[in-house]
Amino acid sequence: MSSRISQGWPAPAKLNLFLHVNGRRDDGYHELQTLFQFIDYCDYLDFKVTESSTLKLHSNMGGVVADSDNLILRAAKLLQIVSGCNKGAEIWLDKRLPMGGGIGGGSSDAATTLVALNALWDTRLNREQLKEIGLQLGADVPVFINGFSAFAEGVGEEFQSVTPKEYWYLVLIPDVHVSTAEIFQDPDLPRNTPKLDIDSLMKGNWQNDCQELVAKRYPQVAKTLRWLLEYAPSRMTGTGACVFGEFELQQQALDVLAKLPSDMTGFVAKGANISSLELRLAQL
C-alpha cells in the first residue's frame, strides 16, 4: 500500500549577507562569522511515502544525478538509519536553483528532505537531531533545517536568530561553477578578519572575505559584480558564483533586471527571515 503524494515542499535559497573568515583551525576547517537570510526563490520537492524501504528520486534536470551520492537520497537514507524507520519514499525534484552558485541549492534540498520525511514518516526527531544529521551532509544544511535567518559562527553550526531588513534582491548567476573547497584551500584567501560581537556586526559595513579572490579567479564573477554595482549596493554570496544587489522596492529590482545584458541571467526575490520551508511545515 502506498500513500498519496505530498506536494510543494520548498527548498529555499539563502544569501550570506556577510561572510567573514576569522582563521583556520588545526583540523583544516575555517572559523567563520556569517549572516544567513532566506529568499523566496526555491527548488520544490514532492514526496510519496512507500511501505517498502526503497528510495527513488526523479528530477526535471539532467545534471542532477539520482544515485546514492545525491544529497537528497543520502539525507533520506540517513534519516532511515538514525530513526530506525523502515518506510521508503518516491521523491520528485523540480530544480530551479543554480548548482554551485553559493545560494545553497543542494544543501537546501537535503534539509527539505529531512524536514519533510521526518513529518511524513512520523519519525518524530526534534530539530536538533535533524540538524545533527544535516551537518553530516554539509555545513550549510543545518541553517535550512533551522528555518530562521541566523547569525552563524564556528564552522557555521552555532546559530543566533536575527531579523535583518527584508530587502528585495536582484540575484545574478554568472555562468561558472565555483568550488568552495578550492576557495578555502587557496593560500591567498584572507583569514584574519577580527571576530566581532553580533551587535557590532549587525551595524557594520558588510563584506564577503571570499569575494576578491573569487573575482580574481573567475572573470565572469568580476564582470557580473561590476555591472550590478552600477545600480545598487552589491556583494557575492557564500563562495560564489552568485552576486546580489539590494533594493528597497520590488519595481526597482525589476527595472534593473530588465536592463540585464543578454549574456547574463538573474532573478528578483524577496528577503525572508522565516523560510518558506518553515511556513510549509506549519501547514501540516
> Would you call 48 a catalytic residue per the annotation?
no
Question: Which listed residue (14, 87, 95, 131) is catalytic?
Answer: 14
> Would you call 14 a catalytic residue per the annotation?
yes
Question: Which listed residue (27, 140, 188, 203) is catalytic?
Answer: 140
Distances (CA, A) of 228 to 95, 151, 160, 165, 243: 25, 26, 30, 20, 8
The DSSP symbol for 208 reads: B
Q: Cα torsion for 65, 68, 73, 77, to the nearest 10°?
A: 180
Q: Can you tell me the distance from the alpha carbon of 276 to that of 40, in angstroms, rounded to the nearest whole number?
A: 7
Q: Can you tell me the distance from the alpha carbon of 89 to that of 52, in angstroms, rounded to the nearest whole number?
A: 8
Residue owning grid cell 549577507: 17
Of the candidates 24, 57, 26, the residue with the CA atom closest to the CA atom of residue 43: 57
Peptide bond into 241 cis (omega under 30): yes
- Give the containing element (helix H, strand E) for 161: strand 158-161
Positions annotated as catalytic residues are 14, 140
